[in-house]
Structure 1
């Protein structure tokens, strides 16, 4: 059998797919998203296997088995689901695809992926496997975490935690409501940020180390970011008055926030961040260990994983 580096099942019409589904993504939207896409693929002659995520360790075992068979590994869920398997697909040399079915779907938005089942199926059948950058975060305890979109600390990490408690709100209101609440209660942190060896300090509300330009369900936090350039965009938002920050918040959706005086944008390949006092940290909607005096290092992994896009 050909190695996974050489093909995901030769020609597109012969592709086989291993769908890994997070059944809780998007408030339970993921299973419904699978049905139509899988039917279209099977009607086109593709082999489709669907598995609902049985837990982190078992899911990685499923990834390994799928890559060994030459299947395209399909993440069905949100950004957290994608990041949970992207690193393993990259390590094994497999091919990854995305069926966006989460609350945010920000990495899919960055890639310009469609939303309709028919268009998604067309991408899976016809798109070429394209090398795509990832992030790798090395935490203070020495453990590592691969992330597709961004790692962030401060107000935005607190916002992500609040979103998980606002399911009673309509989806389109969850992130804005959580953000406003976080901005109204945040306490500034002194961030020490080193980018390719050059160190700066800021009294700030948040720091974002971005591969993807989008996070928080459509916020264009890093408007110049690219997943193909082998670089990271670092966004530092200095502490300002709460009322001013709340008023400026809508600018994040179209990227105009980068013109504000308190917003700084940098670029580099390797970034370390520390915070005092400690502050919440997250990656692609999932919580990570708190950011404290011991720095976290984030490196770009250029072209680490091939994605159908």
Structure 2
């Protein structure tokens, strides 16, 4: 453990000894199927002897602002009840602060919580978090920091999509019809019909590589999209990022590769490549990166692994 880890851990322990637990809950996460469990979760957290404050927010921007305000107001810890999108908002507030963070997986995609070793059952995750609060215990984990050309920064915990999957998300977000999962399915069909390799410049720990590709992902954790193991060897405690890309393949080949991503066996395909790095610069035209499933920054961006950037309640 480094001196920075020890300092961050001591900050988290001091805050856990006093103060309130701030909770950001997304009632629409997981299509609302865990909404009825929220009172029981809050009761269990209240039993640890700390006040529990449920943050109020009517939009993603308000939720992020509320998280930042809670941290600045001296919250003992910040917890989320939701999926990766909810976590993404909270990470902007806790990254690098030493404030304890507890993700309760209650979304459609819970890739960050799974990658960090939390139980998949929300009530089970609350038990783990509550025990950590009582013990004053946190564990350091890495985050990825994105930086745009203008200095804008965004943190993420799971995976940055910067290829075909990012284009699908961008198209789906622009579509007003149909609603629900069918909108994403339609966006996939449209982008597959329009599929073409794009020119990328990747600077991997300072080594420049130019390539044509259809899929690029940068992982701090192994999976995205609710269990797709796009970066199967990514470890959020090793201080490294896993960069995975697929070369200039056509629709038929991409359609064969994609199902293998769920098992993490796509790395064996001759057109799929991976590297582990501390920093990667991504340059391409007309692509907006999606981090933790959320619209983040347009390319070009620099992504850096930041060891111990978050203190997990585990």
TM-score (norm 2): 0.84
Contact 1:175–1:217 (8 Å) recurs in 2: no
Give the gaps of 5 or more residues in structure 1: none
| Paired residues for 1:199-238 under 5 Å | 199-238=208-247
Secondary structure of the residue aligned to 1:85 is helix
Give the gaps of 5 or more residues in structure 2: 1-9
The answer to whether 1:282 aligns with 2:290 is yes
The answer to whether 1:84 aligns with 2:89 is yes
TM-score (norm 1): 0.85
Deviations 1:125-168 (A, max 9, x none): 12331111111111133311111112221211123335556653
Aligned residue number for residue 6 of structure 2: none
Deviations 1:185-238 (A, max 9, x none): 322101110111111111100211111111011100111101001011000111
Change (3 A) 1:178 1:268: same
Secondary structure of the residue aligned to 1:92 is coil
Q: CA RMSD in A?
A: 2.6
Change (3 A) 1:246 1:184: farther
Q: Which has the higher strand share?
A: 1
Aligned residue number for residue 145 of structure 1: 154
Deviations 1:236-288 (A, max 9, x none): 1112120121122110001000000110100110110111x422321111123
Change (3 A) 1:7 1:281: same
Write the distance in 1 (CA, Å) between the matches of 2:104 and 2:239. 25
Which stretches of structure 1, 4 residues or more, deviate above 6 A after TM superposition?
A: 173-177
Contact 1:67–1:92 (8 Å) recurs in 2: no
Change (3 A) 1:65 1:279: closer
Contact 2:67–2:93 (8 Å) recurs in 1: no
Write the distance in 2 (CA, Å) between the matches of 1:110 and 1:168. 26
Moved more, 118-127 or 229-238: 118-127
Give the length in aligned residue pairs: 297
Write the distance in 2 (CA, Å) between the matches of 1:67 and 1:217. 32
| Paired residues for 1:155-174 under 5 Å | 155-161=164-170, 167-169=179-181
Change (3 A) 1:7 1:180: farther
